[in-house]
């Protein structure tokens, strides 16, 4: 391989250390993500430029690429095999021991303010492809959520948010304020603690399943948000002062409620004997309600997220079969 070819490859990408891998990542994560998504969709005989699938591609492009789940190219890709082998040969031995010392499989991510360290996953392309492949079988993209209440009814719910806004300033709500900040980043600590998971026993398969559900829930929720375009509470009442920055996408349904109840519902189907299930459901509801306290959602958004999660369970169980088996093995 000529030197100028190696230089060209290196100039177009960044060297990334991920776990025990050394890889080149496209500096434009959107390009890499869309290539992977297109390949995943074609695996399931879907045209990534057709109809509802295009909407899902647009959602991924707008809301996931370049955020927390930015993709890392897996072995090969734009990285020439000869260069890949050379990089590993020269660097892998020196880094391997240090990278593994004190870490578990996957890139670690620490939840701000919780003291917990969870494995971070890459974008679950397989599960996204399966979800898209089941659109026609389950019609999850058309029939799973009723439209939001009329604007007048939504306006009537905002008085409760003003009460919560005032109460949130009290000294007694310091813990809630911290929880709201942590949960804003889709941290999974609120769901892991009811299961008795500690730093000593991190339940990595469960953590990975929960993070996958957060991403799939966001995927589904953003599809319905784009469909209904319900205004945020602060748009309906400019006198409302949200505790957190208001997301750019619309209000209905609450993605945090959807994601939280996807986690609770699927774990209940995966490990039905777990004694922490009642606490897990309470935690899921609390995460959703905390978004109301933050001034970002009204109660009808929260209940819609919970309802959508339950209606999605048949397709989610099909999509998550492999991960559910790993979680069962972890707890049994």
The pLDDT > 90 percentage for the chain reads 60
Write down the pLDDT at residue 276: 97
In angstroms, rounded to a whole number, what is the distance separating the alpha carbons of residues 70 and 190?
Answer: 23
* Overall average pLDDT of the 282-299 stretch: 98
DSSP 18-40: ETTEEEEEESSHHHHHHHHHHHH
pLDDT digits (tens, 9 = 90+) for 293-305: 999 999 999 999 9
pTM for the complete prediction? 0.72
Give the pLDDT score at 155. 97
Number of domains in the chain: 2
Q: What is the pLDDT of residue 80?
A: 43
Instruction: Tell whether the torsion through CA atoms of 122, 125, 128 and 130 is positive or negative.
Output: negative
Q: What is the mean pLDDT of residues 176-182?
A: 96
Q: In terms of residue numbers, what domain contains 60?
A: 3-100
315: CATH: 1.20.144.10
Q: Do 39 and 146 share a domain, yes or no?
A: no
* Same-domain check for residues 30 and 52: yes
Helix intervals (H) in the chain? 3-11, 29-43, 51-63, 81-100, 125-133, 135-138, 151-156, 158-167, 174-183, 189-192, 204-228, 233-236, 255-270, 277-293, 299-319, 321-331
Closest C-alpha to 160, from 302, 257, 293? 293
Tell me the pLDDT tens digit for each residue of 57-92.
665 555 544 444 333 333 334 344 444 444 444 433
The yes-or-no verdict on residue 181 having pLDDT over 50 is: yes
Range 80-104 burial, b when 16+ CB lie within 10 A, else e: beebbeebbeeeeeeeeeebeeeee
Boundary residue ending a domain (58, 77, 100): 100
**Residues 237 and 92 both lie in one domain:** no
Inform me whether the pLDDT recorded for 138 exceeds 50. yes
For the chain, percent of residues with pLDDT exceeding 70: 64
Question: Which domain-ending residue is among 100, 132, 161?
Answer: 100
Angle at 150 between CA 149 and CA 154, to 5 degrees: 70
My answer on whether 137 and 83 are in the same domain is no
């Amino acid at each position: 391989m000529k030197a100028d070819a190696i230089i060209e490859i290196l100039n177009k990408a960044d060297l990334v250390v991920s776990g025990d891998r050394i890889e080149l990542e496209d500096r434009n994560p959107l390009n890499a993500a869309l290539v992977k998504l297109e390949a995943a969709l074609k695996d399931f005989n879907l045209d990534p430029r057709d109809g509802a699938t295009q909407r899902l591609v647009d959602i991924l492009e707008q809301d996931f690429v370049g955020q927390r789940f930015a993709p890392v190219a897996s072995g090969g890709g734009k990285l020439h095999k000869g260069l890949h082998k050379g990089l590993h040969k020269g660097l892998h031995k020196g880094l391997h021991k240090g990278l593994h010392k004190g870490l578990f499989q996957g890139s670690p991510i620490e939840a701000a303010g919780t003291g917990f360290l969870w494995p971070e996953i890459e974008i679950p392309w397989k599960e996204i492809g399966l979800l898209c492949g089941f659109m026609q079988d389950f019609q999850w993209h058309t029939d799973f959520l009723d439209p939001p209440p009329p604007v007048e009814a939504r306006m009537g719910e905002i008085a409760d948010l003003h009460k919560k806004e005032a109460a949130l300033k009290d000294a007694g709500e310091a813990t809630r304020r911290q929880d709201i900040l942590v949960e804003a980043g889709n941290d999974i600590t609120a769901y892991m603690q009811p299961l008795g998971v500690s730093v000593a026993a991190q339940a990595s398969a469960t953590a990975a399943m929960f993070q996958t559900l957060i991403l799939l829930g966001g995927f589904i929720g953003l599809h319905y948000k784009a469909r209904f375009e319900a205004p945020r509470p602060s748009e309906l009442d400019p006198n409302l002062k949200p505790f957190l920055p208001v997301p750019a996408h619309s209000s209905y349904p609450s993605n945090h409620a959807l994601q939280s109840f996807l986690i609770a519902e699927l774990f209940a189907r995966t490990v039905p004997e777990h004694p922490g299930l009642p606490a897990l459901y309470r935690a899921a509801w609390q995460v959703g309600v905390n978004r109301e306290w933050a001034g970002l959602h009204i109660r009808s958004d929260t209940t819609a997220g919970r309802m959508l999660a339950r209606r999605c369970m048949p397709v989610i169980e099909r999509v998550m079969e492999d991960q559910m088996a790993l979680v069962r093995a972890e707890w049994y």
